[in-house]
Amino acid sequence: MPRTPTRKDRRFPLHLHISVLFTLLLVLIGIVLGLFNYQQNSQIIFSSSAKLFERIQQELQKDLRHTYQPINHLLSMLVLNRATQATDLEGRLALLEPMAQALRDNRKLASLYLGYADGDFFMLRPLRSETMKQLLAAPEQATYQVWSIDRSETGDEAHYLFFDDALNLISQQQRPLQAFDPRSRSWYLSASSQAEQITTAPYVFFSTQQVGTTLARRAGPTSILAADLTLSDLSTTLAQHQVTANSQIILFDAEGNTVAYPDSARLLRMHGGEAHLTPARDLSPELATLLADGPDAPHQSILQLRERRWVVSRSHILEGGPQGLHLALLVPEDELLADAYRIRWQGALITLTTLLLCLPLGWLASRIMANPLRALVLEAEAIRRFDFDYASSGHSPVLEVDQLAESMLRMKATIARFLDISASLCAETRFDTLIERILQESLAVSAAHGGLIYLLDADSGRLQPHGLFLHGAQHSLDKHGIRGYDKAASQMPTWLQQPANGDKSCIASLGFDQAGDYRSLLQTLDSPRVHLVATGLHNHKGDRLGVLVLLHCDHGEPADRAMQSPENVAFIEAVSEVATRCIERQRLLDRRKQLLDSLSN
């Protein structure tokens, strides 16, 4: 029955891991950068939109202020004219010239008029359009219309007087008295009860059906001077500030009635035969939802309606009535952030394109990094087969892989060298030659400048020196005064006692003052200080056979301590184990030969 593959068996090549990781990192970076850019761009757009909304409010407020201030000054000047106190039409016509000049200077003025306590009324209206002339049945040459209402004990009369641009009377028409009494109008009632000038809330003018406000003030004890100011230009101003195609901007009063709207045709609606301001909530569902929050709604907010988000800005404008006006701007979030969406998708496209272009590069880079590892695997298999002639993997651009290759090369050389040393030592059949060969090989593998071996005499228990090599040449032990040591001798150096008693190898540095018996060796090596490694010679039973001592001259360079590195010491210990077995084997052979010789004799 075939074995089911486990998770441990499902392994993949390194270059595949690197390629996947490289791809995931690119995707992650693309997503993070895309989201970051989108958030930053959205923040910039929202911030710019807030500044834009504020600028629109400031422009409207400035427009209203420039509209109202001249009229305020005009009324303040006209009330000083004595003709405002006249009691009949003849006396009031003295106001014709200053009023006409005021209408010429202020194109937003729809009319100037006086209301009296006895119900009299005197109005001067400019006829600026053909529509207005047709509405009032004015002559073709007429430029101004005077509407006069006189109430007296003999009867009430109403007249239309038409004047040309030079204020020459063109025609006079007697009109039926309409149901109009200035004393019942809000502007009259408000102005008569206050000493200061008043401004009414926006409303629909009685005669022209235009949206505007009235500014009024006392002209005397029995008269009120007023001016009708049209607000039609505000709708044009709002239309100029249409932020996006479907954005909505509206100006409304405290009652929620529309004062200005880009589509001016929707400002008025008929009810009971009369024109009224359209409630702002009837213009669109978005405005209805906005106004449902009341006047205390936040200035900046997000409105969710019909699965669409709207950025909403509300502000209060002081001019335009006793309670001021309210400006609302609603912009669809998707239209406002269209550029941010575009940048986000462009960023995603750029990331995807970069990913597609970088995938081959990532694959190539991963192969370049993985090939040396694959070569190291083959080299390790060759070492496993004891094939030390297999070519090395070479260098890698990755530091760790290159270090591993170097370590593999050194390991192969070390194992090969160890096997060669083992074979060489095992091939020796003479004890003296074996000792020399052990020292030569130990000096070669450790790069030491000198060395000697102490062997334990089985009969006396003394450590006796055998073989001395300095700078690759054999020297006499007696000439240098190298002596042996008793097992319990107190003069035995500490660095020699430790390996001689079966402990681990000892590493030490000896100066000329601490060298003792080795001073002659330091003089021969021409070095004031040596680095020393002493490793014990122990058989497989743990019995002590002796100590191998290696010396390296100190020339003041960092490489002088290389012999004392853990790797070098471990290799020396491994060589010493082989040497111990060879020495023990040679001793047994020598004893057997002696025994045979004695038996033959």
Chain segment 437-462, per-residue pLDDT in tens: 777 777 777 778 888 888 887 777 78
For the chain, the farthest-separated pair of C-alpha atoms sits apart, in whole angstroms, at 185
Based on the domain organization, do 500 and 583 belong to the same domain? yes
Find the CATH number of the domain harbouring 280.
3.30.450.20
Report the C-alpha gap between 45 and 333 in whole angstroms. Answer: 10
Q: Stretch 197-213: mean pLDDT, rounded?
A: 81
**Is residue 472 in a domain?**
yes
How much is the pLDDT for 295? 56
What's the pLDDT score for residue 126?
93
Alpha carbons within 13 angstroms on the beta-carbon side of residue 401 total 19
Tell me whether residue 67 is in a domain.
Answer: no
> Which range among 143-147, 332-336, 420-424 shows the weakest confidence by mean pLDDT?
420-424
**Global model pTM greater than 0.75:** no
What is the sign of the dihedral through the CA atoms of 71, 77, 79 and 85? negative
For residue 62, tell me if it sits in a domain: no
* More confident position, 488 or 360: 360
Q: Is residue 361 part of a domain?
A: no
Whether 225 and 100 map to the same domain: the answer is yes
Give mean pLDDT, residues 258-271: 81
The highest-confidence range among 353-357, 479-483, 571-575, by mean pLDDT, is 479-483
| φ/ψ bin of 386: left (φ > 0), alpha (ψ from -120 to 50), beta (otherwise) | left
**Per the structure block, which two tokens stand in for 589?**
């052979």
pLDDT given at position 132: 85
Task: Look at the chain and report how many structural domains it folds into.
Answer: 3
Tell whether 91 and 121 lie within a shared domain. Answer: yes
Residues 572 and 466 in one domain: yes
Q: Are residues 533 and 456 in the same domain?
A: yes
Nearest by Cα to 261 from 282, 245, 237: 237
Q: What is the pLDDT of residue 488?
A: 63
Among 207, 230, 253, give the residue marking a domain's end.
Answer: 230
Backbone angles phi, psi at 565, to 5 degrees: -65, 150
Q: How confident is residue 171, by pLDDT bands cut at 50, 70 and 90?
A: very high
The residue-averaged pLDDT of 277-282 equals 85
pLDDT band per the 50, 70, 90 thresholds, residue 481: confident
- Gap between the Cα atoms of 251 and 317, Å rounded: 9
Domain boundary among 178, 195, 230: 230
Q: Structural domain of residue 216, as residue ranges?
A: 79-230
If you average pLDDT over residues 556-585, what whole number do you get?
Answer: 75
CB atoms within 10 A of CB 2: 4
Pairs from 72-75 (Cβ < 8 Å, separation ≥ 24): 72/197, 72/215, 74/102, 74/106, 74/227, 75/197, 75/215, 75/216, 75/217, 75/225, 75/226, 75/227
Cβ atoms within 10 Å, residue 38: 18
- The pair of structure tokens assigned to 460 is 């006396």
Q: Decide: helix, strand or coil at residue 308.
A: strand
Q: Pick 318 or 100 by higher pLDDT.
A: 100
**Residues 91-108 pLDDT 10s:** 999 999 999 999 998 888
For residues 179 and 290, membership in a common domain is answered with: no
Sheet holding 529-538, edge to edge: 473-475, 463-470, 450-456, 544-553, 529-538, 506-511
Separation CA 126–CA 162 (nearest Å): 10
**% of the chain beyond a pLDDT of 70:** 89
What is the percent of the chain with per-residue pLDDT over 90, rounded to a whole number? Answer: 10
Q: Which of 208, 230, 252 is the last residue of a domain?
A: 230
**CA atoms of 335 and 43, how far apart (whole Å):** 15
Among 587, 594, 60, 24, CA closest to 318: 60
Average pLDDT of the residues of the chain: 80
With cut-offs at 50, 70 and 90, classify the pLDDT of residue 271.
confident
Judge whether 2 lies within some domain: no
d(C-alpha 127, C-alpha 138), whole Å: 9
In this prediction, residues 104-119 reach a mean pLDDT of: 90
User: Of the ranges 144-158, 194-208, 261-275, 396-410, which one carries the lowest mean pLDDT score?
Assistant: 396-410
Task: Examine residue 537 and state whether it is found in any structural domain, yes or no.
Answer: yes
For residues 436 and 528, membership in a common domain is answered with yes
More confident residue, 480 or 587: 480
Same domain, yes or no: 223 and 240:
no
| pLDDT at 5 (0 to 100) | 54
Residue 487 predicted with pLDDT over 70: no
pLDDT, position 319? 77
Pair 442, 587 in one domain: yes
pLDDT in tens, 525-566: 888 888 888 888 777 676 778 888 888 888 777 776 777 778
Indicate whether 297 pLDDT > 60: no
Average pLDDT over residues 228-241: 79
Tens digits of residue pLDDT in 24-69: 887 787 778 777 877 777 777 667 777 777 777 777 778 777 778 8
Give a yes or no: residue 566 inside a domain.
yes
Smallest CA-to-CA distance from 335 within 261, 243, 262 is with 243
If you count them, how many residues does the chain have? 601
- Residue 426 pLDDT > 50: yes
Residue 387 lies in a domain: no
CATH number of the domain where residue 541 is located: 3.30.450.40
Q: Are residues 125 and 181 in the same domain?
A: yes
Query: Does residue 323 sit in the same domain as residue 453?
Result: no
Residues 299, 448, single domain; the answer is: no
pLDDT score of 1: 47
**H helices present in 385-481, as ranges:** 399-427, 431-446
Reported as a pLDDT band with limits 50, 70 and 90, residue 502 is confident
**Tens digit of each residue's pLDDT (9 = 90 or more) over 388-398:** 677 776 676 76
